[in-house]
Amino acid sequence: MKEMNISFNLNGKNYSFSVPTNMTLLQILRETIGLTGTKKGCDKGDCGACTVLFNGVTVNSCLILAPQVDSAEITTIEGIGSVDKPHPIQKAFVEEGAVQCGFCTPGMVVSSYSLLIKNPEPTEEEIREALSGNLCRCTGYIKIFNAVKEASKEEKKIGR
Ligand code: FES
Ligand code: FES
């Protein structure tokens, strides 16, 4: 397979290397860089487990190919929060019991983060719409929606 050089910014850090042109962003993140927070579910754009921010917009990283990654700015779950420094959205997911198996959680958090940046006080309908591309087979969604509502209140309190 043909290779190409790509340069991009990931979670505030610059990367540059050669990859096969048919490699997906999801593979680059998980296999080349070793950031495994972004999950591989369906690998065909249906589940949202692989959601990342790509130039400020949520995308399914399993559908983005290496040539598109060149010059992009990418934020993954690792760029949003960590175990030591969780983002208020991550804290709210834990506190509301919105994490069961956890497989969908990074994608859910990235989509919620994107929503709250654009719309800090979303309605229930806006939360449902924003998370409509993220599938969860454990929680029944209600606790996830509640977590996003709680996170929006918390972000307001700390003035984010
Ligand atoms: S793994 Fe990308 S949408 Fe399911
Ligand atoms: S918590 Fe298991 S898929 Fe959502």
The whole-angstrom separation of Cα 151 and Cα 127 is: 12
Contact (Cβ atoms closer than 8 angstroms) between residue 7 and residue 16: yes
| Helices (H), ranges, 54-104 | 66-69, 77-80, 88-95
The model's pLDDT over 45-69, given as tens digits with 9 standing for 90+, comes to 999 999 999 999 999 999 999 999 9
The model's pLDDT over 7-49, given as tens digits with 9 standing for 90+, comes to 999 999 999 999 999 999 999 999 999 999 999 999 999 999 9
The model's pLDDT over 70-80, given as tens digits with 9 standing for 90+, comes to 999 999 999 99
Q: Is the shortest distance between the CB of 107 and ligand 1 below 6 Å? A: no
Site to substitute for ligand 2 among 40, 50, 100, 143, most atoms within 8 A of C-beta:
100
Q: With pLDDT > 70 as the criterion, what percentage of the chain qualifies?
A: 97
Contact (Cβ atoms closer than 8 angstroms) between residue 46 and residue 110: no
Using DSSP, state whether 140 is helix, strand or coil: coil
Q: How far is the CA of 14 from the centre of ligand 2 (A)?
A: 32
Q: How far is the CA of 2 from the centre of ligand 2 (A)?
A: 37
The whole-angstrom separation of Cα 131 and Cα 45 is: 14
Q: Is the shortest distance between the CB of 52 and ligand 1 below 6 Å? A: no
Q: Is the shortest distance between the CB of 47 and ligand 1 below 6 Å? A: yes
Contact (Cβ atoms closer than 8 angstroms) between residue 52 and residue 33: no
- The residues pairing with 94 across neighbouring beta strands, listed in sequence order, are none
